[in-house]
Structure 1
Amino acid sequence: MVNAFFLFILAGLAEIGGGYLVWLWLREARPLWYGILGGIILVLYGIIPTLQKFPNFGRTYAAYGGIFIFLAVIWGWGIDKKIPDTYDWIGVAVCMVGVSIMLWAPRH
């Protein structure tokens, strides 16, 4: 379980970080190397989830989506200085409950 969350967090940081570098390059006129580095990091993001032990691609990526939402809120707070409001945190909590159900519900 710890390994699964570690890989989800690593994938989320790669996706958000890579996307952020591309955003800075295209939207805020940063140098080309921001975009290149962002693209490389986004390729790594695509590889990291394949290291998960869960056998189902769709379920794994759906569960990762909940973790991504949590990380995106934290990123916005820490990097963009946009303080999450109550509804942001309620949304994150709902997503985390969904992730837990998807990954650890008893199945036949």
Structure 2
Amino acid sequence: MLKTTLLFFLTALAEIIGCFLPYLWLRKGANVLILLPAALSLALFVWLLTLHPAASGRVYAAYGGVYVMTALLWLRYVDGVKLAMTDWIGAGVALAGMLIIISGWKSY
């Protein structure tokens, strides 16, 4: 379960970086060349999703829980936004849902 969770966090980082870099170009005036690492990051994201052992629908459902936590951590540490207690609670609930989903993967 730990390996799957870490893989999900890496997957989420690749997705967030791949989306954040075009945001920098479109909204913050970054150089257009920033789209190259963005494309590579999104390609890495897609490849990482293929490494999970479960059916794609289960992977996407479980991944969503980790994505919520990762996005909030990004918001806090990259964007510098202070998170509310409800953010942390919601992220904990999302992670709990992910753990529940992946705990049943061995039964299929």
Q: Same fold (TM over 0.5)?
A: yes
Q: Which residue number in structure 1 is paired with residue 19 of structure 2?
A: 19
Q: Which residue number in structure 2 is paired with residue 49 of structure 1?
A: 49
What is the TM-score normalised by the length of structure 1? Answer: 0.91
Q: State how far apart, in whole Å, the 1-side matches of 2:4 and 2:43 are.
A: 19
Q: Which residue number in structure 2 is paired with residue 5 of structure 1?
A: 5
**Cα offset for 1:37?**
1.4
If asked which structure has higher relative contact order (CA below 8 Å, sep 6+), I would say 2
The answer on whether the counterparts of 1:66 and 1:98 sit within 8 Å (CA) in structure 2 is yes
**Cα offset for 1:13?**
0.7
After TM superposition, the structure 1 = structure 2 runs for residues 1-108 of structure 1, keeping only pairs within 5 Å, are 1-54=1-54, 56-105=55-104, 107=107
Where in structure 1 do 4 or more consecutive aligned residues deviate above 4 Å? none
Unaligned 5+ segments in structure 1 are none
CA deviation string 1:8-34 (max 9, x = no partner): 111011001111111101111100111
Unaligned 5+ segments in structure 2 are none
Identity among equivalent positions (%) equals 34
- Two-structure CA RMSD over aligned residues (Å): 1.5
What is the TM-score normalised by the length of structure 2? Answer: 0.91
The answer on whether the counterparts of 1:8 and 1:67 sit within 8 Å (CA) in structure 2 is yes
Alignment-mate amino acid for residue 62 of structure 2: A
